[in-house]
Structure 1
Amino acid sequence: MRVLVVAEEYPWPARSGGRQRLHWILRMLCARATVDLLVIEEHPSRSAPEPPPEVPIHRLTRVVAGHQVLSAGGRFTRWLFGRLPRSVVGRDWTSARSAVGEWADDSHDLVWFVHTSVYLALRHHLPGPHVVDLDNLESSLRAHRRRSRRWQAARTFRGAVWERARAAADVLDKRRWRRLERGIARAATVSLVCSDLDWRRLDEPRVRVLPNGYELSVDCQPVAPPEGADGDPVLLMVGLMIYEPNRDAALYFASEVLPLIRAQVPGARFRIVGRYDPADSHILSDLPGVDLVGEVPDVAVELARASVVVVPIRYGGGTRIKILEAFAYEVPVVSTSIGCEGLDIEGGRHLLVADRPVDLAAACCDLLADAGLRKAIGTEARRLWETRYRWALMAPVVDDVLRTVVPHGT
C-alpha cells in the first residue's frame, strides 16, 4: 500500500503539538505502508533536519505556498463577497499544484490531508480515497475567541471599533468554517478529529476520533522538583507563541493572574517556553516575574524545574498536547475549561480547572502551598496518561482507518 501525506508544516523538529501529532501519524503510517510526504509551507524553516530513522519517508517534497499580491482592500473585498474564511483568502497554491502535477505518474492508494486548507486547494488534483485530519476545528476556535472578547480592554474609540469589527468578522468566519468542516466530513472518505467533543460537533458518520498522545523520549520515572533553580517556585507555560491563542493566553496570565499569585507568593516566576516573535517580546518580558525563554532543545529540563504547568487558554481548537506532556512528567497542571476541553479528565483529580483570574491564581497558590496536593495530582495525571494518552495506544485507530479506506491494502 502506498500513502501520500499532504501537510502544511514540516514536522521536524517535532516540538509543537501539531508537529508531534504529524510525526506520530507518519511514524504509524510508515510501519504499515510506503509513505510519500508533500509539505506545503507558508514560512519554511531554513534549518529543518532530515526525517528521523524511525520515519522512513519514501519520497519527500517541500514547496512554498505564500500569498497572492493583494491590497488590504482587495483581500477584504474577496473575503466579504466570497465563501472562504479570512485565513484562507489570498493563498497562492500555484507551486503546490505544480508539485502535485509532477507526481501524476505515481499511484497512491490514499491521500492523507493534514488540515483543511490543503484539502480545499488540492482535493481535485489528487484523485482517490481521502483522509482529512481536522485536529483543530477552526469553527470552535472562532466561537471561543468571540466569547473571550472584552470591549473594556480597548483603550481608544478606534480600538473599540476595531475589536467590534474583528468580533463581527469572527461570527461570519465561524459560520464559514462550520460549513467547510461539515462539507469535508461528508465528502472525505474518512475525517479525523482528536476528541469525542469534536466528533459530536461534526456529527457525521464518516468522522473518526484519533486522540492526541504523547510519548517520553526515554523510559523514565520523571522527578519534578517543586522549586526552580534559584529557589523560587516556577509556573511554566509551554507553547508556540506565534500562535495567537497561546500568545493571548500568555499575556492574559502574565498581566491578570500572575500579579494575584505574586501578592501571596512574591518569588513566583512565570516561565514561557516556545518560539515567539521578537517584535512582541517586550510586551511580555517587561512584566514583573515573567521569563520569556523561547525555544529550548529539551523541554524536559524546563518541566523538571517547574512547580506547576499552566494552560490559560481562552480560545482554541483540538486538545492540548502540552497537558499530556505535563501529565507524563507528573507535573501538576492548572488549566482553563477551554484549555483542557476534549480530554477525558476529571477536574480536581487529574488537574485543577479554573477560568476567572482570581480562581486561576487561587488554584496555583493551592498547589504551590501544598506539596502533597502537587504529588497527588501529578500521580493521577501520570496514571491517566499511561492508560489513555500514549501514541502507542492509538495504532488501532490508524489500522481501522486504513482498513476502511483501503480494504484490501493491509
Structure 2
Amino acid sequence: MKPLRLLWTLPYLPWPITSGGKARQFHLLRELAGRGHRITLLVQSKTPADDEVLKTLTPLLEELIVLPRRALRHPLTLWHAATSPLPLLATVNGHAPALAQRFAQLLRQGHWDAIQVEHSYGFEPFGAELARTAQPFIITEHNVESELGAATYGKWPAPLRGLARYDQFRARRWERQVLSKAAAIVAVTESDAKTLSQLGGRPAHVVSNGVDTRGFAHVQPDAASRTVLFVGNYEYAPNVDAVEWALTEVWPRVWPLVPDARFRICGHGLPDAWRQRFTDPRIEWLGYVPDLTEVQSRSAAFLAPLRYGGGSKLKVLEAMAASLPLISTAEGLSGLNATAGVHALVADTPEAIAQAIAHTLANPASARTMGLAAREHVTQQFDWARSASQLEAVYQSLQTAAKVAA
C-alpha cells in the first residue's frame, strides 16, 4: 500500500525491550518504517529517552515526542487514583494536561491517515480532543485488561478485596467506553478479539504477535545443562504469579524426580524479595539479560507456567523460535495455534507440569525433535512482516470507510 502518515501514542517507550508489549511495538514500528510509512510517536514515559533510545528509535520515525509521566506516588496520581471514576491503571496514565495539549497540537498540524492509541488505559488524555474533532482512531489492546484481575487483585490484602473488585468493575466499564468510540479495534488473538468485539459492539481485527525468527535461528539448546528457563517482565502481574506458583507448587515436585534440575529466572524488574524467600541453590536469579539467545543456548528447556494474561506470549514465541523444548500451561500457549505433544508438552496442574519437566530432561532426543517442530511452526506462522501486513489491512479498512462516508 502507499505510504501513510501515522500518529501512534504509547504509555511507555518501546525501547529497550523489557516486555512482550515493547517487543511488539518496536518490531511493528520497524516493519512499518521499512515500508515507507511516516510515523510520529507520542510517548508518555516514566523514564527519559536517553542516547541509546534516541539512537534506536529516531531512524524509524518522522518525529519522536517523549513527555514525562508523573511518579506513581505523586500526590496528584494518588488523588486521582482515589477520586477518579477511571480504573487505577487509567488514572496512573491519565489526567495529563501536557500530554493532552501536545496531542491536540499534533491533530491541528495536518492530516493523519491513521491515529493509533495503544492500550485503553492510556486513552484518557486523548479522549476529549478526539471527540471534539470527530477524528477516527484505532485502539489496540494487548490483553483484555479487566480479565487480568485474578493475577493482580487476588494478591491484595483481604480488607481491600472490595476495592479490588470495584476497580475491576471500573476497568470493564472503561473498556466499554473506549472501545465503543474507536473506529477500529485491534486484538492480538482471536480469543481476545471475540471478547473485545462484545465490549466494543463491533468486530475486532487481529494483528498477531510475531518473532524475529532469524535472530533466534542460531540457538542450540544445551540438554546437558539440566536447566529450565523462564523469562518475563515482573512489572506484569501474570508473570509474578507464574514464578511464585512455579516455585511454591511445581519445583518442590520436580526436585524429588530430578534432583539436579535447575530453574533459571530472567527478566526486567526481578523482585529482590524473591532471593530471600526462595533460597534453594538450584534456582538461578539473572534478572534482565541484554542477549536472550546467550541464555537460551545455556538452557535445556523453557517453562511457561502462566495461569492468566490472555494475548499471545512473546517469551513463548521466542523460546519456540530458539527450538527450546517447551513445557507450558494451556494459557501459556494461547493464540499460538500450537499442538500439544508436537510443539510443546502441555499441563495445568503442578503434578503434571513436574512430570513433564522430568520427562523432557530425561529424554533429550525427543525433546530436541519437539523443539525443532516448534521452531518450524513459528517460522511458518509468526513473523513480524506478517503482523505488519495485518495492521496495514486495518489502516486500509479505515481509508475505505472514510471514502464511503465521503
Deviation at 1:313, TM superposition (A): 1.6
How many residue pairs are counted as aligned between the two chains?
388
Candidates 29, 33, 44, aligned match of 1:40: 44
Matched with 1:395 is 388
The change in CA–CA distance for 1:165 and 1:55 in structure 2 (over 3 A counts) is: farther
How far apart are the structure 2 equivalents of 1:27 and 1:71? 33
Secondary structure class of the residue paired with 2:42: strand
Superposition CA RMSD, Å: 2.6
Deviation at 1:179, TM superposition (A): 2.8
Aligned pairs for 1:2-401 within 5 A: 2-30=5-33, 31-44=35-48, 46=50, 48-52=52-56, 56-66=60-70, 67=72, 69=75, 77-78=82-83, 83-89=85-91, 91-107=94-110, 108-126=112-130, 127=133, 128-143=135-150, 149=154, 163-203=157-197, 204-218=201-215, 220-228=217-225, 233-277=226-270, 279-283=272-276, 286-401=279-394
Deviation at 1:48, TM superposition (A): 4.3
How far apart are the structure 2 equivalents of 1:356 and 1:163? 26
How far apart are the structure 1 equivalents of 2:388 and 2:317? 18
Asked if the contact 1:334–1:351 (Cα under 8 Å) also holds between the matched residues in 2, the reply is: yes
How far apart are the structure 2 equivalents of 1:143 and 1:109? 38
CA offsets, 1:304-360, max 9 Å, x none? 111111111222232100111011111111112222223212222211222221111
Which residue identity is paired with 2:211?
Answer: Y
Q: Does 1:405 align with 2:394?
A: no
How far apart are the structure 1 equivalents of 2:222 and 2:108? 56
How far apart are the structure 2 equivalents of 1:121 and 1:401? 23
How far apart are the structure 2 equivalents of 1:324 and 1:250? 18
Which range moved further: 311-320 or 212-221? 212-221
The change in CA–CA distance for 1:347 and 1:171 in structure 2 (over 3 A counts) is: farther
How far apart are the structure 2 equivalents of 1:285 and 1:106? 54
Secondary structure class of the residue paired with 1:305: coil
How far apart are the structure 1 equivalents of 2:349 and 2:216? 37
Deviation at 1:281, TM superposition (A): 4.5
Which residue identity is paired with 1:388?
Answer: Q
How far apart are the structure 1 equivalents of 2:58 and 2:42? 18
Gaps of 5+ in 1: 151-161
CA offsets, 1:86-138, max 9 Å, x none? 22235441231233244354222221111112223213325422111111211
How far apart are the structure 1 equivalents of 2:298 and 2:357? 16
Deviation at 1:295, TM superposition (A): 1.1
User: TM-score with structure 2 length normalisation?
Assistant: 0.87
Deviation at 1:53, TM superposition (A): 7.6
Which range moved further: 189-198 or 218-227? 218-227
The change in CA–CA distance for 1:3 and 1:360 in structure 2 (over 3 A counts) is: same
The change in CA–CA distance for 1:285 and 1:209 in structure 2 (over 3 A counts) is: same
How far apart are the structure 1 equivalents of 2:91 and 2:57? 37
Q: Identical aligned pairs, as a percentage?
A: 27
Which range moved further: 48-57 or 182-191? 48-57
How far apart are the structure 2 equivalents of 1:208 and 1:284? 43
The change in CA–CA distance for 1:242 and 1:282 in structure 2 (over 3 A counts) is: same
How far apart are the structure 1 equivalents of 2:307 and 2:161? 15
Deviation at 1:279, TM superposition (A): 4.0
Question: Quick check: which one's helix share is greater?
Answer: 2
The change in CA–CA distance for 1:376 and 1:182 in structure 2 (over 3 A counts) is: farther
Asked if the contact 1:185–1:207 (Cα under 8 Å) also holds between the matched residues in 2, the reply is: no
Deviation at 1:387, TM superposition (A): 1.5
Which residue identity is paired with 1:392?
Answer: A
The change in CA–CA distance for 1:118 and 1:356 in structure 2 (over 3 A counts) is: same
Secondary structure class of the residue paired with 2:41: strand
User: TM-score with structure 1 length normalisation?
Assistant: 0.86
How far apart are the structure 2 equivalents of 1:71 and 1:36? 27
How far apart are the structure 2 equivalents of 1:282 and 1:45? 31
Deviation at 1:163, TM superposition (A): 3.4
Deviation at 1:51, TM superposition (A): 5.0
Which residue identity is paired with 2:175?
Answer: E
Secondary structure class of the residue paired with 1:174: helix
Asked if the contact 2:213–2:379 (Cα under 8 Å) also holds between the matched residues in 1, the reply is: no
How far apart are the structure 2 equivalents of 1:338 and 1:44? 34
Gaps of 5+ in 2: none
How far apart are the structure 2 equivalents of 1:32 and 1:166? 50
How far apart are the structure 1 equivalents of 2:361 and 2:22? 32
